[in-house]
C-alpha cells in the first residue's frame, strides 16, 4: 500500500501565503498591524527556541510579535499582572504563554487569566469548554492544526473509530473532543491503559499524543489506518513507530514535518482571525 503523506510543512507554507494576504488587508483597511504577544518565563533553551520560531512565523505573514521575557524567579502574581496588562492593551490581538513555566508558578491560573478573545493558543478552561460544546472559541493549537491537516487531505472522520493515545489538557483531551465533534467515535487511551495494543488495533485513525518515544508500535496499527503522530523526540522520532507503519497505513504524518509546522501555523492563523474580529468590532 502506498500511504498518503500528510505534509504539514507544505500545508503551513500554503497557509502562510493566504495569511499574508489577510494581514495586508487588515493593514489596508484599519491601519493597524496584528500583534501576537509571547510570554517567556525563565531561560529554558527549548522554550526560547519555540518562542523565536513563533515570532519568525508572525513576521513572515506581516504580523508583529511583542516579546515579553520574565526572569526565572517570577511569581504567579507577577505573571498574572503582566497578562492583565496585555489583556488591557488594545493593540495586542493574541497572547501566548509559553509552556512550561517555572515550578513556583500556578500555570493553570495564568492560562485562565488570558482573555477568551486573545486566547489564540486555546489554553483556557473557558475556551476548552466552549470548544467542547461546539461554541465559538480558539482550539488548542496542536489538535486544531491536526484537524486542519486532516481536512486539507480529505481524511474522512464521520463514523470512523479514532483512538487518541494521550490525555494532556492542551493536546489529548481537546483532540478527542474535536474528533468527536467531527462525528468520529473516539476512544481515549494513555500510558496506563490496559491492553493498549488491542485498542489501537481497532482504530481507523490513531493519534499519538502520549509524549513517549515510539510507545505505539507499528504492529499495532491495522491495515489502512490513518496515523497522526503529534510527538517529537530527538533525534527525530515521534510517539509512533512510523518506520513500521508506512507500508500499511493509508495516510500518515511524517516526523518531523507533519504536525509540528501546523501547530505554529494554527497559532498564527488564529491570531489573524482574532485581529480581524477585533478590528471589525465583533
Catalytic-residue membership of 29:
no
* Whole-angstrom distance, CA of residue 269 vs CA of residue 275: 10
Catalytic-residue membership of 84:
no
Neighbours of 41 (CB within 10 A): 25
Spot the catalytic one: 7, 112, 119, 121: 121
**Which residue bears the cell 500583534?**
35
> Counting Cβ atoms within 10 Å, is residue 138 exposed (0-12), middle (13-18) or buried (19+)?
buried
202 torsion bin: left (phi>0), alpha (psi -120 to 50), beta (else):
alpha
Catalytic-residue membership of 248:
no
**Which residue bears the cell 493593514?**
27
Spot the catalytic one: 7, 82, 98, 278: 98
- Which residues participate in catalysis according to the annotation? 54, 98, 121
Amino acid at each position: 500500500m502506498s500511504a498518503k503523506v500528510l505534509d504539514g510543512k507544505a500545508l503551513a507554507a500554503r497557509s502562510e501565503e493566504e495569511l499574508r494576504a489577510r494581514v495586508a488587508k487588515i493593514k489596508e483597511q484599519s491601519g493597524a498591524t496584528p500583534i501576537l504577544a509571547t510570554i517567556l518565563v525563565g531561560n529554558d533553551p527549548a522554550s526560547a527556541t519555540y518562542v523565536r520560531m513563533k515570532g519568525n512565523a508572525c513576521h513572515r505573514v506581516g504580523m508583529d510579535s511583542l516579546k515579553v521575557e520574565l526572569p526565572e524567579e517570577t511569581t504567579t502574581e507577577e505573571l498574572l499582572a503582566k497578562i492583565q496588562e496585555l489583556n488591557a492593551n488594545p493593540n495586542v490581538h493574541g497572547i501566548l504563554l509559553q509552556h512550561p513555566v517555572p515550578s513556583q508558578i500556578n500555570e493553570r491560573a495564568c492560562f485562565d487569566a488570558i482573555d477568551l478573545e486573545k486566547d489564540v493558543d486555546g489554553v483556557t478552561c473557558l475556551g476548552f469548554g466552549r470548544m467542547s460544546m461546539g461554541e465559538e472559541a480558539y482550539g488548542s493549537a496542536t489538535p486544531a492544526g491536526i484537524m486542519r491537516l486532516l481536512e486539507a487531505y480529505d481524511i474522512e472522520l464521520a463514523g470512523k473509530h479514532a483512538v487518541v493515545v494521550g490525555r494532556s489538557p492542551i493536546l489529548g483531551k481537546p483532540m478527542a473532543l474535536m474528533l468527536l465533534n467531527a462525528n468520529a467515535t473516539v476512544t481515549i487511551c494513555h500510558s496506563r491503559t490496559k491492553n493498549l495494543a488491542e485498542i489501537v488495533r481497532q482504530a481507523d485513525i490513531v493519534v499519538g499524543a502520549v509524549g513517549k518515544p515510539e510507545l505505539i508500535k507499528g504492529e499495532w496499527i491495522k491495515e489502512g489506518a490513518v496515523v497522526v503522530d503529534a510527538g517529537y523526540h530527538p533525534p527525530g522520532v515521534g510517539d509512533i513507530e512510523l518506520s513500521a507503519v508506512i507500508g500499511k497505513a493509508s495516510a500518515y504524518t511524517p516526523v518531523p514535518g507533519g504536525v509540528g509546522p501546523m501547530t505554529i501555523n494554527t497559532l498564527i492563523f488564529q491570531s489573524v482571525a482574532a485581529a480581524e474580529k477585533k478590528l471589525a468590532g465583533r
